[in-house]
């Protein structure tokens, strides 16, 4: 998560007791990546904690830009029969070439595929978008999982990120959120007919998986749809506008007696 790059947390603003020092060292050890010592070698003692202006400073881990950060509610412990809550933080650009991002999204897919009906996944989304491939593998798992999936727009939800937010079984919009959708972009070389075929296929895919469902649900107007497909515009939607559109869609589904997506 790029927002954690180089970040530090000030956790105490007074003199730290020996007991508190030991507890904090445990936290630092848990967060700090370290290689396993050779067999028979006692583990090294944790490094002394830095103190700045009377506060203990804990360096948080540097996570790869674009990779989702997964937090599981530990209350259920190792008991696989208890409901689990997973918080998936998708912050920063979803980078296509990043092996770290691809592996982390694979972890999310595996968790969704093996989840129970009593489990819940909350996707916290604040990103300018990124790779369609990564977003596509996530939405396939979101559609097939037994778990409840909540997608929360917390800031910018743009481009490929819109795909992930759109497929939540429950969709939420925070006050600071905003949305942007446009046609996909890519670079290509080779035979001109082949390039045209690839481009056409991508346009069809974006329409089928994102633009057409948004239009059908009233999350895009017909004019906005045409602006994206025909005029190649970026379409921006405020949090209030999206809430109103979600509310109208939910009301329509209730009147029709159809299964609906919960929105807030």
The pLDDT assigned to 55 comes to: 58
Mean pLDDT to the nearest integer, 100-115: 80
Tell me: do 103 and 180 sit in the same domain: yes
Tell me: do 178 and 238 sit in the same domain: yes
* 0.75 surpassed by pTM: no
Comparing 179 with 188, the larger pLDDT belongs to: 179
Tell me: do 259 and 139 sit in the same domain: yes
The pLDDT assigned to 54 comes to: 52
Tell me: do 82 and 192 sit in the same domain: yes
Range(s) of the domain holding residue 12: 2-33+45-59
The pLDDT assigned to 35 comes to: 47
3-class secondary structure per residue, the chain: CHHHCCCEEEEECCCCCHHHHHHHHHHHHHHCCCCCCCCCCCCCCCCCCEEECCEEEEECCCCCCCCCEEEECHHHCCCCCCCCEEEEEEECCECCCCHHHHHHHHHHHHHHHCCCCCCEEEEEEEECCECHHHHHHHHHHHHHCCCEEEEEEEEEEECHHHHHHHCCCEEEECCCCEEEECCCCCCCCCCHHHHHHHHHHHHHHHHHHHHHHHHHCCCCCHHHHHHHHCCCCCEEEEHHHHHHHHHHHHHHHHHHCCCCCEEC
pLDDT digits (tens, 9 = 90+) for 66-106: 556 777 775 555 566 788 899 988 887 776 555 555 666 78
């Amino acid at each position: 998560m790029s927002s954690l790059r180089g970040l530090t947390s000030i956790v105490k603003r007074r003199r730290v007791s020996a007991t508190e020092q030991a507890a904090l060292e445990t936290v630092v050890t848990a967060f700090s990546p370290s290689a396993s010592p050779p067999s028979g070698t006692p583990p090294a003692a944790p490094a002394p904690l830095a103190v700045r202006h009377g506060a203990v400073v804990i360096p948080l881990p540097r996570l790869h830009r674009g990779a989702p950060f997964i937090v599981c509610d530990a209350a259920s412990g190792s008991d696989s029969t208890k409901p689990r809550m997973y918080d998936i933080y998708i912050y920063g650009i979803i980078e296509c070439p990043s092996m770290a991002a691809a592996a982390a999204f694979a972890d999310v897919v595996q968790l969704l595929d093996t989840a129970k009906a009593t489990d819940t996944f909350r996707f916290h989304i604040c990103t300018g978008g990124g790779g369609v491939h990564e977003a596509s593998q996530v939405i396939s798992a979101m559609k097939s999982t037994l778990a409840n999936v909540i997608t929360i727009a917390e800031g910018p939800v743009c481009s490929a990120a819109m795909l992930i937010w759109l497929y939540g079984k429950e969709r939420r919009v925070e006050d600071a959120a905003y949305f942007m959708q446009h046609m996909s972009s890519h670079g290509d070389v080779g035979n001109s007919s082949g390039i045209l075929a690839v481009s056409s296929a991508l346009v069809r895919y974006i329409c089928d998986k994102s633009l057409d469902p948004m239009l059908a649900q009233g999350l895009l107007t017909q004019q906005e749809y045409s602006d994206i497909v025909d005029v190649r515009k970026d379409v921006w939607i405020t949090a209030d506008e999206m809430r109103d559109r979600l509310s109208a869609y939910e009301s329509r589904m209730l009147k029709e007696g159809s299964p609906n997506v919960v929105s807030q």
